[in-house]
A and B are shown apart, each in its own frame.
Chain A
Amino acid sequence: MKTRRSTPLTIAMLAALAYFLIPLFWLAVSSTKSTQDLFNTFGLWFSHSPQLLTNIRDTFSTNGGVFIRWILNTVFYAGVSSIGAAFLAAFAGYGFAKYRFRGHKAGFNLVVGTIMVPTTALAIPTYLLFSQVHLVDTPWAVILPSLINPFGLYLMRIYAQDAVPDSLIEAARIDGAGELRIFFTIALRLLGPGLVTVLLFTLVTTWNDLPASVTATTGTSPDGRRVHVVHNWNWNPVRLQAPADLTDVLSDKSVAADSSLRLGAWDARILRS
């Protein structure tokens, strides 16, 4: 059935489209400007001296090319987290969709119920718990929490319900295939599109993750003492509680345990215990 096209509707939708694309156009135009032109020329058009290549070169060469390091970090964390999360969700979603066992309903409801829990509520206790098991300055501190995606599990269960027919599983069982083998050779292929959806959702979330405003990295110096590097990635000054008796490496001032430690905007301190 071929319907005729409507010109007024098309014009209205193109106007709406402009609202969504103009900010992105501004972004593209601004990427060609010098800092001075960014503030002095008209925002929605190019300046007289476009310098896109210079800007790109600056991005990659500032601070010894640290931007490349950041990109690689993001690719690594987002890649590992999203593949792991999608696979775990598919495995468990298939389990919830195709089997009935004790605690089936309670387990599923518990997981889905937590979709509503604010994620910032978890950030602080997760950090404290991780620091107790010495995971804080390892990549696991970033990867582990993003492996659990309750919404992904929900999607995969709904998807597995229809995408993998029960008759196919029955047939494979009669042919003598074990349950895990059925999953890996048959179900996983049928779950492909759902798996990609969960993968993309997690990828976007991890890729866009805003890092915590204050980070603390802890290492051991050659003489066996603990060295803490505390960064404030923020325009706001921050007050921290010293976890133990510490000495500022640069100023040699001592900081008593539980006393307050002030970090100015974008400040970094190196402390030794």
Chain B
Amino acid sequence: MSGQNFRGRVTLARPGVAGPVFVAPFLVLFLLLFLTPLGYAAYLSLFQHHLVGGTTFVGLKNYVTALSDPLLREGVGHVALFFVIQVPVMLILAVLFALALDSGLLRLAKVVRLGIFLPYAVPSVVATLMWGYLYGPSFGPFAQIGRDLHVTVPDFLGSSWMLASLSNIVTWEFTGYNMIILYAALQTIPRELYEAAAVDGAGAWRIARSIKLPALRPALTLTLLFSVIGSFQLFNEPALLQQLAPNVIDSSYTANFYAYSLAFTGQQVNYAAAVSFLLGLVIVIISYVFLFLANRRRTP
């Protein structure tokens, strides 16, 4: 590797060839480990397996079955409700926390920032088990305090509270993560802008509303997209809470959990593949709707 490269002795010296060389290792593995299984799943979803008679090609029959499957509808219904309630609460909290941290009005800002982010570092399995104990109707601390004060504490693991309890766990886990993304976006705003606004007579609220919130839009779109993907793929939390409340959480409580149960417990690999594809399609459609709305509002 000396100056000789320049005369074209090593083909890599030509930038036109170097680009593909850089991206090839990733793309080859991507093809083998991502697209091949995906293609294989698409292929599997077109077949049906019978104990007697083996595997037969059925075309789109699995998809037709899935569309009218009441269990899948129930699962999608749960995650949709979860998405509509939990995501706004989490993102509004994250925005408020990020604005508070960025305002410079806070004492102990570093401690607060680290503390709110800390739950993200806790594995979701541990977080769910932990909250499962805290929710417990006989040994959980909330129930204990309620008994001492003679107040009836709701049954957090009962059917009417379960979705709220799940929302609380996910909010606890991911508010800090979203807060950090939004806080980082706020930090990139040039400070001179605030000084100029202050000179023009804008107060802290006015600056937050007119400068900071518009500047947060790209980061907020990103966190919203992650939340769409995260809520519709909700799996770990319901799968673990099922041990504590088997009567409330059945194997089709969320759509992703249903696909998993079909494949690994029910051994219906073909139908599970079709369900997974429909779920992926729902996520893609919702994500694009959000991207479309976000882009349209930016360029009126």
Contact = CB atoms under 8 A, between A and B. Distances in A.
A4 B105 contact: yes
B294 interface: no
Contacts, number: 244
Interface string B90-110: 000100010010011111100
B60 interface: no
Interface residues of B, number: 96
B118 A107 contact: no
Contacts of A5: 105-107
B272 interface: yes
Interface residues of A: mostly helix, strand, loop or mixed? helix
A40 B233 CA distance: 36
Contact of A26 (B107, B130, B260): B130
Contacts of B23: 91-92, 95-96, 107
A70 interface: no
A97 B163 CA distance: 43
Contact of B141 (A26, A88, A180, A212): A26
Nearest to B148: A42
A241 B49 CA distance: 11
Given A23-B172, A118-B276, A121-B280, A178 B100 contact: no
B292 interface: no
11 contacts: A14-B108, A23-B131, A91-B25, A114-B35, A117-B280, A120-B233, A120-B259, A125-B40, A129-B40, A176-B5, A179-B22
**5 tightest A-B CB contacts, nearest first:** A95-B22, A99-B19, A43-B141, A121-B276, A92-B26
Interface of A: 1, 3-7, 9-10, 12-14, 16-17, 19-21, 23-24, 26-27, 30, 38-40, 42-44, 88-89, 91-92, 94-96, 98-101, 104, 107, 111, 114-126, 128-129, 144-145, 147-148, 150, 153, 173, 175-181, 183, 204, 207-208, 210, 212-214, 235-236, 238-241, 258-260
